Amino acid sequence: MSLTEYRRKRHFEKTREPAPEADSRVKKSRGGKFAKVPEVHRPIFVVQLHHASRRHYDFRLQVGDTLKSWAVPKGPSYDPTVKRMAVEVEDHPLSYATFEGDIPEGEYGGGHVARFDEGVWTTPYDPEAQLAKGHLRFELFGEKLKGEWHLVRSGKPARQSQWLLFKEKDAYAGKVEADDLLDDVTPPGGTKAAKKAAKKVARKAVKTIAPKRTRKVDWAAKARKLTGAKTAKLRNEAFPPQLAKLGDVAPNGAQWIHEVKWDGYRLVATIVDGKVRIWSRNAIEWTDKVPELRAALEQLGVQSAAVDGELIAGRGTQADFNLLQSTLSGEEQGGLAYVLFDLLHLDGVDVRKAPLVERKALLQDLLGKPTPHLSFSSHVPGDEGAAAFALASEQQFEGIISKRADRPYVEGRSDDWRKTKRLDSDEFAVVGTTKGQGSRTGFGSLLLARPDKEHGWVYAGRVGTGFSGEQLRELSKHIGDIGSSKPTVHVPVALDAELKRATWFKPLFVVEVFIRGLGNSGILRQPSLKAVRFDKDVGDLRDSDRGPAKKTTAAKKTTARERVAAPEIRLSSPTKIIFPDRNITKRQVADFYKAVAPRLLKEVAGRPLSVIRCPDGVGKACFFQKHHTAGLDRVRFVRLKEEAGVNANYLVVDDVEGLMELVQFNSLEFHPWGAHADDPDRADRVVFDLDPGPGVPFAEVKRAAAHVRDLLEQLNLKSFLRATGGKGLHVVVPLNPANDWTLVKKFAKSFAEALAGSDPDRYLATATLKLRPGKIFVDYLRNGRGATAVASYSLRARPGAPVAVPLAWPELKDLKRGDAFDIDKTLARIKRQRKDPWAGIDALRQDLSAWG
């Protein structure tokens, strides 16, 4: 549901409830005031006790930029056997999470609203997909509501969608009810109905919800058995972690062990008197950013401990780092885990001086079985370093960490820990920019520098590829107007024309770039952006882990990496029926997309993409997805700003592997933007969708398509034809160079309205349903930023397995229907086809600048 229903039910001049218009980039705050959403935040939940005509709890989860909402009459129960009815109600704006007080009697929901609980919620899966399927699995991290829960849609017919809310049988499960936790909830205010309803509640004083302890172990006794262990009190503060030096090859020998080098954020954690605190390697507290880690560490059931590890998403590979960043920023949901590799203190015993293998054995014992949020970083013996590195590289990890098995834990960098990286990426300080060329907004490239003992900082090269349009804008804002024309770092090469015109400044922030070797004087060869590392300070680069530079190492590693083939996409449930009316299986769908991939990729590659996924096949629940989700390894994303002002990660497919991964995820339809991901604010396609209303024969749709083509030709615009796989036809106008969306939408709207005005008995330029019979809706709304249109060679999630097919204009006269081509006819057409019906579409130069 959108916020339209929320607006319709309320008179904001009478109620204090927040209007959606005031909700741009806001979130909850305990003071009840609106606050700007920070760049990094997690999706929130809020539960409000509502004394309306019928007392109930309002249960709300942030999904995107709204609060999905359910009314739960009896409130959540911690008893897994109790399933509470939850009636789905209209979406609410995020600012509603701060609302408390009285809604006037006579207004919708009149009565008293009090906040019962609030916090962060997570799910390792796509929330929109789960809601569409009717089963949402999630975790809550509040003061009162904790642990794992389920929302399952009931199959019973009802005016409003009914769900069941119930607790997972986990460490928090018990006999506690929501009404047992009301001791600190604000009592009702002025309305009579609210006061009357409040008297029915007997308040109990259950103050906290704590996890049950399943293991009773004398951990202090176990810790005292370690070599060099001593009794000590642990301070409730961060500690400097042990760091590794970079090596060329993994060391060998029985004194070493080798672990995977996880690609995430280094975190250290302490437990003092049962209270968990978590810090970054630079002693910045992260406890509230990662509540799932805090809860998992609490469940260890120890009074004091100090541990060291890495925060990861997914498998913790290089490809998963973007998922980690987007999960922490709240742009998507994903499962986070804390991979622990060292233990320094346990229940009053300091074990830092014990050999590493003894510390790790005790840590593994402490952790027990792996949980979704805590795991143990295993290792292999020292004589298998080369094999460990090869396996880590093959599995797309960043490399390995080799550690002396017989040494104590030492703060700072030492030779006891060595890392061997797939040196296809490295980190540099940004020290300047060059100007953008052509239509590129913001800077052209970032100037990079590495720390140098002789000069302080030395120029390392420039990176100008790998940036999304959103990154170009955001980084340009971050840099601002600082700088001068004089280099601020030592430049070991002669300044070329571009560097002479560059803007230089002192080291400002850190980026990680993919590199393809080093040229003369150590200048990077063909670098491209991997990630912006705002989590690191430029000072971290001075604490060098590199040692003496060897110019050939990066090139050697890159070549080795190129020999590692990406694993093939595994198709699960290949015999599952996708099109039941024709008994077409998932394997047949996958084979179709493999066959048409070269043609389909011409339209979708490099563009923000929306898909329609049908996990249970056509005829069952399907859903529309545009955001990147956990588990997608071959599909990248681009961060784009949405209308509500928030950033979101949009799907982008670049190759066959990415396309087939989406097919594995049960994607049937592919709908690209009319713009590329690296230039999302400029359109290179105009699409007119000719959609016939009831009673319009297809011959009239064909005549309309030819009419639109002729009118466009009068404007010196060549167009192309597509059968949509549905009822209608698309007339597509390529733009080269691309035009601003504002101009494109204005042109499309004016064209459609002029067409409808010239022949109102045939055409319609509005989507009003009651006006549709007997007319053709000229849908121009697919020509706005964020709008999509189905791609040529995309299947449609409809009976018969129809396909959207590009046509040459002479083929129009013989076309019988908009869905004339199904999966079999499309493949047969491709086999006999000698020429692409849209040949030359990308080479055609035409735009709307003269029109605008």
Looking up tokens 């080291």 gives 507
Q: Does residue 734 have a pLDDT over 80?
A: yes
> Which residues are 71's β-sheet partners?
58, 87
Lowest-pLDDT range, 37-46, 489-498, 839-848? Answer: 37-46
37 pLDDT tier (thresholds 50, 70, 90): very low
Element (H, E) at 539: helix 538-542
> Which residues are 272's β-sheet partners?
275, 304
Average pLDDT for 159-170: 91
Element (H, E) at 122: strand 111-122
Predicted pLDDT of residue 158: 64
Cα–Cα distance list, 407 to 261, 308, 365, 591 (Å): 19, 16, 20, 55
Q: Does residue 125 have a pLDDT over 90?
A: no
Q: Does residue 193 have a pLDDT over 90?
A: no
Q: Does residue 189 have a pLDDT over 80?
A: no
Q: Does residue 36 have a pLDDT over 50?
A: no
Predicted pLDDT of residue 35: 27
CA 812, 672, 793: angle at the middle one, nearest 5?
A: 45
Average pLDDT for 596-605: 95
Q: Which of 25-29, 405-409, 418-422, 770-774 has the highest average model confidence (pLDDT)?
A: 405-409
- Residue 480 main-chain phi, psi, to 5 deg: 70, -150
Predicted pLDDT of residue 641: 78
Marked catalytic residue, from 146, 261, 421, 702:
261
Tokens standing for residue 409: 């834990």
SS3 344: strand
Predicted pLDDT of residue 201: 52
| Residue 768 or 545, more confident | 768
Structural domain spans, the chain:
4-198, 219-421, 425-562, 577-672, 682-786+802-832
Tokens standing for residue 376: 């143990």
Q: Which of 15-19, 304-308, 541-545, 661-665 has the highest average model confidence (pLDDT)?
A: 304-308
Q: How far apart are CA 802 and CA 388, in angstroms?
A: 49
- Give the number of other CB atoms < 10 A from CB of residue 589: 24
439 pLDDT tier (thresholds 50, 70, 90): low
Task: Please state, for a pLDDT cut of 70, what percent of the chain lies above it.
Answer: 89
Cα 741–chain centre separation: 25
Q: Residues 670-679: pLDDT tens digits? A: 999 999 998 8
- Give the number of other CB atoms < 10 A from CB of residue 372: 14
SS3 750: helix
Task: Please give the DSSP secondary-structure letter assigned to residue 588.
Answer: H
Average pLDDT for 119-134: 90
Q: Does residue 164 have a pLDDT over 70?
A: yes
CATH 3.30.420.40 correct for 219-421: no
What would be the CATH architecture of the domain defined by 682-786+802-832? Alpha-Beta Complex (3.90)
The answer to whether 495 touches 462, Cβ cutoff 8 Å, is: no
Task: Please give the DSSP secondary-structure letter assigned to residue 694.
Answer: T
Q: Residues 483-537: pLDDT tens digits? A: 999 999 999 888 888 888 999 999 999 999 877 666 656 788 778 888 888 878 8
Q: How far apart are CA 507 and CA 457, in angstroms?
A: 8
Predicted pLDDT of residue 200: 53
The per-residue pLDDT of the chain, averaged, comes to 87
Q: Is the dihedral of CA 323, 329, 333, 337 positive or negative?
A: positive
Task: Please give the DSSP secondary-structure letter assigned to residue 99.
Answer: -
| Residue 768 or 484, more confident | 484
- Residue 482 main-chain phi, psi, to 5 deg: -75, 165
Q: Is the dihedral of CA 338, 344, 346, 348 positive or negative?
A: negative
Assigned CATH for 425-562: 2.40.50.140
Strands (E), 52-110: 55-63, 66-72, 84-93, 101-103
Element (H, E) at 532: strand 528-532
547 pLDDT tier (thresholds 50, 70, 90): very low
Cα–Cα distance list, 160 to 10, 50, 109, 411, 530 (Å): 19, 18, 16, 59, 46
Q: How far apart are CA 667 and CA 107, in angstroms?
A: 43
Q: Does residue 427 have a pLDDT over 80?
A: yes
195 pLDDT tier (thresholds 50, 70, 90): low
844 pLDDT tier (thresholds 50, 70, 90): very high
Q: Does residue 554 have a pLDDT over 50?
A: no
* 727 catalytic per annotation: no
Q: Does residue 556 have a pLDDT over 60?
A: no
Range list of H helices, 77-209: 127-133, 192-198
Predicted pLDDT of residue 595: 95
- Residue 463 main-chain phi, psi, to 5 deg: -125, 125
Tell whether omega for the bond before 806 is within 30 degrees of 0, i.e. cis.
no
Closest Cα partner for 478 from 450, 505, 459, 512? 505
Q: Does residue 693 have a pLDDT over 60?
A: yes
Report the predicted TM-score, pTM, of the whole model to 2 decimal places. Answer: 0.59
Average pLDDT for 307-324: 88
- Give the number of other CB atoms < 10 A from CB of residue 37: 18
The answer to whether 308 touches 241, Cβ cutoff 8 Å, is: yes
Task: Please state whether 283 falls in left (phi above 0), alpha (psi between -120 and 50) or beta.
Answer: left
* Residues with Cβ within 8 Å of residue 703, at least 6 apart in sequence: none
Q: How far apart are CA 658 and CA 398, in angstroms?
A: 21
Predicted pLDDT of residue 653: 93
Q: Does residue 160 have a pLDDT over 60?
A: yes
Predicted pLDDT of residue 103: 94
Task: Please state whether 466 falls in left (phi above 0), alpha (psi between -120 and 50) or beta.
Answer: left
Q: Which of 310-319, 763-772, 774-783 has the highest average model confidence (pLDDT)?
A: 774-783
SS3 330: coil
Cα 82–chain centre separation: 33
Looking up tokens 């509501």 gives 145
Task: Please state whether 667 falls in left (phi above 0), alpha (psi between -120 and 50) or beta.
Answer: beta
* Residues with Cβ within 8 Å of residue 444, at least 6 apart in sequence: 433, 434, 435, 436, 437, 464, 498
